[in-house]
Chains A and B, each alone.
Chain A
Amino acid sequence: MFTHKKILYSLLLISCALLIGCAGSYAPNNYLPETEDVPQNVYGGWITVTTAPDSLKPNDKWMMYGGEFIASEDSVIYLLYDSLYRIPKRNITESTLELDDKNTGAYGGWVAGGSLLTISNGAYGIITLPLWLVAGIPSVSGESIRDRYEMDEPTQEYWNSIKMFARFPQGVGDIDLSQIKPLTLIQMSE
């Protein structure tokens, strides 16, 4: 019951569970701000979209685009990576928007360490280890999916709900988009 083997199995299962339960991030390292810095961050969130091939274009393929969410207009969204992409909403089959850097790794280590510490609880481990499993795993996987707006076949309601997280929530009406540099690449090289 209180053996190292059982703790080992549990840690193994926790690791598997976390791998299964946690959502990975599409954003490059260093792009997303810390959660506490979001209120003063001047860029849009990181959006990743998958587009279906246009049936009118025989050579068109499934594509995945990722970049800073610049704006959402009636029928298109703007996304900035190495250059500015204008993507028709009707072609988008999946969309994921991320706002901040998650602490999933740190929390995962915390849960694994805490579970390991229950070895020192002896008989009490029968209480504390399940506590770590029941409360710890949801905490970690919950951290990975919070403030993450994800939708298959995104609807207009979805776009309206995430519009506020674009660099230009007001839309691109009078803005000179030709002057916008690919900030992502600059940040990634830093």
Chain B
Amino acid sequence: MKIIKNIVESASDKVLLFLICGSLILNSNCGGSRIERISEPPTKISPTESSEDFPFIKLHMKNGDLYVLNNWIVDSKSSTVNGTGKLVNANREIISEGQFTVPVKEIVIAETNHIKSSSAVGTLTVLTIVTGIFTVVCIVNPKACFGSCPTFYASNGDDFIVQSEGFSSSISPALEEKDIDALYRIKPNSSDFTIQLKNEAYETHVIRSANILALPKPEGGRVFSSPNGEFYQAKNITDASSVIANEGDISEKVCSFDGVERFSKADSNYLATKEIIELTFNPAKSDSLGLVIAARQTLLTTFLFYQTLAYMGTTAGDWLANVERNGDQFKSLLKNPRNTLGNIDVLIENENNEWVKVGEVGETGPIATDIKIVPLKNDFSSAVENSPIKIRLSMSKGLWRIDYLALAELKNKVTPIVIEPTTVAPQFLGSSNVVDLLSNPDSVLVTFPGDQYLLNYKLPDDYYNYELFMESQGYYLEWMRNEWLAEENPGKVYQMLFNPKQYYKDLAPQFKNVEAEMEETFWSSKYVYP
């Protein structure tokens, strides 16, 4: 029953069921035939000689005798059928074997059969080859095939769509952290709100809390969270008049939060090579502005994470245990590779015409697109009345997929209402109530690959006046794969921690080899629409 329930509750399982049902419907027309029998009176025998398609001819006689001949030919001059084979009686006992010449006039019915090749064998062979190719690809490069993150789905009215990756950079207990993701495109249709929590990777997820944050929306505006965890009401959200990247104007790609993203390829020599995007906005009336950025990472960090685990190899457990023992020291070391790669830096031009960084945004993970607002300082030179507002984004090439860029007038800071799940299905994990596990800060919900829960929340009665965010806290443990152990190289781990620039230079060619393939794999997966 549990299996059936899981299948019914899961959208993707419904798809599988649909495919199976569909294939069964198709099947009714797929019977076909492989045996083509031609049974004619002797005067109409066609074809007139044996061939690869018609190797045998059977000649039925009036008394029930039967000739079965191969290498046969119809001799029209002598009106005979000649061939080699056997003659059997009505009881199908052999009377004689050898060369026969059978007068056409004695034959009642001549029969030939053509056996067509099996379409099923052809289909299954093609499928096997395709699957085999993918298997080889995955054996050669397992990092391109496996991997995901803790994921939360919310209903958009029709289906559950991925909305949030929880604590993607928390890869050990010492790195546990709280993560806030906007449910920007979700419009609840009642105060009963459901989030689907899934573990879709070879990972153990340890979830301490999974709360909804509700914040009052201003009239005609939205609420955004800032990178440092503050919430701002915002109004008059306007698109850029131009957005210039290396490839040209990309404003069409980033003018709305619609899944159409701008991204670039990583540098071939150094994975932390920066690129600049220049934004120009029409003059704004307000002097309190913020830049709205909706973005997610490409698979570059996924690659780097898995490659590092591969370099840790059989000692991955020791490394992670070291993180636990020396948490602060290790966190500090981990900042080196993280800072080298960097986030999306937001820069504005000061009075001296120098570009200065005013904020940054960037959340780990390639699945869910997160939307944040970066408050802009008021002292940039372009704030002169009626002059366009110019902003630059600086980021590592090939690291970010940018979906949406806009300027917004910041209004009030607001404080969220924290809403814990009221009920969960399934209700229990072992003997523990899942709601209690997620509500009590001293307990955790542990999930394994394939696990999924429906978390039910009770929103305020006037839920439509609130902006919703997913706030999750926890960490996860990546499962090692046998394929990774072959690359064990502790020296490279040290290099990542102490000399990340060289690490990113060394890995650049390796990543470039699989970059397109990883992206293609990813975009063929269920996460096509962020």
Contact = CB atoms under 8 A, between A and B. Distances in A.
Given A40-B68, A174-B62, A132 B33 contact: no
A169 B64 CA distance: 10
Nearest to A34: B115
Interface in A121-156: 121-143, 145-148
Interface in B41-68: 54-56, 58, 60, 62-64, 66, 68
B130 to A, nearest CB: 6
B62 A169 contact: no
B23 interface: yes
B60 A181 contact: no
Contacts of A139: 30, 119-120, 123-124
A41 to B, nearest CB: 9
A121 B136 CA distance: 8
Nearest to A165: B37
Contact of A2 (B17, B90, B128, B200): B200
B62 A130 contact: no
A99 interface: yes
Given A38-B113, A170-B108, A175 B37 contact: no
Nearest to A5: B450
B138 to A, nearest CB: 5
Given A6-B13, A42-B92, A130-B16, A36 B115 contact: yes
A168 B113 CA distance: 16
Given A99-B35, A136-B124, A142-B30, A117 B200 contact: no
Interface stretch (A14-22, A47-55, A88-96): A14-22
Given A36-B115, A175-B64, A134 B19 contact: yes
A164 interface: yes
Contacts of B147: 123
A108 B468 CA distance: 49
Contacts of B88: 42
B449 interface: yes
B120 A169 contact: no
Nearest to A23: B31
A134 B115 contact: no
A20 B240 CA distance: 58
A3 B450 contact: yes
Contact of A111 (B111, B124, B524): B124
B23 A17 contact: yes
Interface residues of B, number: 75
B109 interface: yes
A127 B520 CA distance: 12
A4 B187 CA distance: 34
B131 A114 contact: yes
B3 A120 contact: no
Interface string B503-530: 0000000000000000001101110000
Given A39-B112, A137-B24, A175 B127 contact: no
Contacts of B17: 13
Nearest to B7: A9
A21 B20 CA distance: 10
Interface string B1-43: 0010011000011011101101110110011111101010000
A74 interface: no
Contacts of A72: none
Contact of A145 (B19, B31, B68, B139): B31
A6 B450 contact: yes
Contacts of B24: 17, 20-21, 137-138, 141
B55 A180 contact: no
A179 interface: yes
A180 B63 CA distance: 13
B134 interface: yes
A122 B146 contact: yes
A107 B145 contact: no
A10 B450 CA distance: 14
A188 interface: no
A110 B63 CA distance: 46
Given A3-B200, A43-B92, A179-B91, A164 B124 contact: no
A60 interface: no
Nearest to A68: B92
A142 B92 contact: no
6 contacts: A1-B526, A5-B450, A38-B35, A123-B145, A123-B522, A175-B90
Given A35-B35, A137-B24, A139-B30, 13 more contacts: A9-B13, A35-B115, A99-B35, A114-B124, A117-B135, A123-B144, A133-B20, A137-B23, A139-B119, A142-B119, A143-B120, A147-B33, A164-B37
